[in-house]
Amino acid sequence: MQVKICGITRAEQGQAIARMGATALGFICVARSPRYITAEAIRAIVPHLPEAVERVGVFVNATPAELVQWVKVSGLTAVQLHGDESPQTCRDLREALPGIKLIKAFRVKHPNVLAQTDAYTAWVDALLLDAYHPTQQGGTGQTLDWETLQSFRPAVPWFLAGGLTPANVREAIALTHPDGIDLSSGVEQAPGIKDLQKVEHLFAQLQTIMPTPLP
């Protein structure tokens, strides 16, 4: 099970969360977000993280040229596309960013959104399903209808996001069987400031359903 904690803005919190067992840390690279962090600030955090932990930049409708520059400056190892990016855009990014993991996020307003993911799986490494909000791309605290995801089995690994907390994560995993989970507001004190006690509680909950230690 991959565990991604998103919205990291502080080096010491990123370090602590990585030690607890996170396999990926997410950095919001969208200027209008309250969790926004600059490429230079990410670069300052990266040397303090275990090499095995993925550093994921979250973007909304950025151009390929912008993404290449962000990766170059920040030291990101993965890019999450959280906007209206087309399959062709993902194909172009696959060529422009060799060796960088591509994650395509979908905000699920209706179950028919799930069928749209098929067009992307040839060009991305993973999918992420998030709750729909009319004005916010993520970090809303709203959950999906997990029962509609019970048969979702794409050709690439997928992450469940949207309103996950230490209190509901076991139920969510039991119903949907994702390859990974993504949390942001569910383990925060405020946008961009993580509650390390909540993160610790999250991993304690995960240990109860995973007999082997988290990586």
Please write the tens of the pLDDT for every residue from 79-96.
Answer: 999 999 999 999 999 999
Rounded distance between C-alpha atoms, residue 40 and residue 20, angstroms: 25
pLDDT of 142 above 90: no
Which conformational region is residue 27 in: left (phi greater than 0), alpha (psi within -120 to 50 degrees), or beta?
A: beta
Residue 125 a catalytic site member: no
Quickly state the pLDDT bin for 135 (edges 50, 70, 90): very low
pLDDT of 138 above 50: no
Q: Which of 6, 29, 90, 182 is catalytic?
A: 6
Quickly state the pLDDT bin for 109 (edges 50, 70, 90): confident
Residue 130 a catalytic site member: yes
Quickly state the pLDDT bin for 173 (edges 50, 70, 90): very high
Whole-structure pTM over 0.85, yes or no?
yes
> Rounded mean pLDDT of 122-149?
78
Kindly state the greatest CA–CA separation across the chain. Answer: 44
> Rounded mean pLDDT of 17-34?
97
Asked which of 39-43, 113-117, 209-213 is least confident by mean pLDDT, the reply is: 209-213
* Residue pair 64/87 in contact by the 8 Å Cβ criterion: no
Which domains does the chain show, CATH number per domain? 2-207 (3.20.20.70)
| Percent of the chain scoring above 90 in pLDDT | 87
Mean pLDDT of all residues belonging to the chain: 93
Reduced to 3 states, what is the DSSP secondary structure of residue 152?
A: coil
> Rounded mean pLDDT of 200-211?
89
How much is the pLDDT for 141?
Answer: 58
* Residue pair 75/43 in contact by the 8 Å Cβ criterion: yes
Rounded distance between C-alpha atoms, residue 157 and residue 154, angstroms: 7
Residue 146 phi, psi dihedral angles, 5° rounding: -60, -30
* Residue pair 151/174 in contact by the 8 Å Cβ criterion: no
| Percent of the chain scoring above 70 in pLDDT | 93
Q: Which of 29, 90, 130, 182 is catalytic?
A: 130
How much is the pLDDT for 143?
Answer: 83
- Token pair of 30, please? 């969208």
Quickly state the pLDDT bin for 140 (edges 50, 70, 90): low
- Token pair of 13, please? 């919190």
- Token pair of 21, please? 């067992």
